[in-house]
Amino acid sequence: MTTSTDTLAPPAATLDSVTRTYRSRAGKVHALRGITHAFAAGTFTAIMGPSGSGKSTLLQLAAGLDRPTDGRVSVDGTDLAGLSDTALTRFRRTAMAFVFQSYNLLDALSASDNVALPARLAGRSVDASGVKEALEQVGLRDLAGRRPPELSGGQQQRVAIARALYARPSVLFADEPTGALDRNTGRDVLALLREAADGGQTVVMVTHDPLAASYADETLFLADGRIVGRLQHADATAIAQRMSELER
């Protein structure tokens, strides 16, 4: 969990006056409106808000999957605006990892090969013992040779988390990682994300589930593209209450 010394470390990711505007047939759509926030290193942050509040846009911008209309995004001390598309792709492979609701695994590869794939794409050597250790952390060491179609949804999501753990990035981004899982399996996945943060990785997760958010150190609430509130170390009841207030 977060300690008093954590505040002395530079933030793992920072958004400074970030705005994202899209054009549609109806005119401009303001997805984010001047968001400023620093994600402290080694913390777990949940992002919540009503549909259309901008939470997925915030995650995409923080992860360098989209670029802001105005403002600056930095990860691990690197200003993403200064990177070309090619350099940004390379940077994401080393500084970030991603866990999505859809798992994003390659069906033709074994679980162990899926875990090692980002390292291979980045041109780094693969440590076979490290891959085994990552799969063991998520309880899948005995299933390392199986391909995703031979695994359950919960097992596939755990492979995706093992891939993130093996990469040891500065920031692990998760977009509704438990949305397609049953409650018990979802809790297992959330416990793994909590362990990743306790181990020093920074976790940023978009979720609609108050129980999922209760695993985080801090929950940010968005509405109309702005941060409108935050709770620290809150339980699911308090988080659900705040969400109900936003949705009125």
d(Cα 88, Cα 84) in Å, to the nearest integer? 6
What single DSSP character describes residue 10?
P
Q: How confident is the model at residue 181 (pLDDT cuts 50, 70, 90)?
A: confident
Is residue 156 within 8 Å of residue 107, measured between CB atoms? no
Q: Tell me the one-letter amino acid at 231.
A: L
pLDDT at 5 over 50: no
Q: What is the mean pLDDT of residues 199-224?
A: 96
Q: Categorize the per-residue pLDDT at 26 as very low, low, confident or very high, splitting at 50, 70 and 90.
A: confident
pLDDT band at 8 (very low <50, low <70, confident <90, very high): low
Total domains present in the chain:
1
Residue 76 has pLDDT above 70, yes or no: yes
Look at residue 7 and tell me whether its pLDDT is greater than 70: no
Average pLDDT, the chain: 91
**Tens digits of residue pLDDT in 215-229:** 999 999 999 999 999
pLDDT higher than threshold 60 for residue 37: yes
- Report d(CA 208, CA 151) in Å as an integer: 25
At 121, is the pLDDT very low, low, confident or very high (cuts 50, 70, 90)?
confident
Give the C-alpha separation, 114 to 122, whole Å: 14
CB-count burial class (<10 Å; 0-12, 13-18, 19+) for 100: middle
Q: What percent of the chain has pLDDT over 90?
A: 72
pLDDT > 70: what percent of the chain? 96
| Span 133-179, pLDDT tens digits | 999 989 998 999 999 999 999 999 999 999 988 988 899 999 999 88
Domain CATH for 92: 3.40.50.300
Residue 10: predicted pLDDT: 83
CA-CA distance, 118 to 213, in Å (whole number)?
27
Range of 11's domain? 4-246
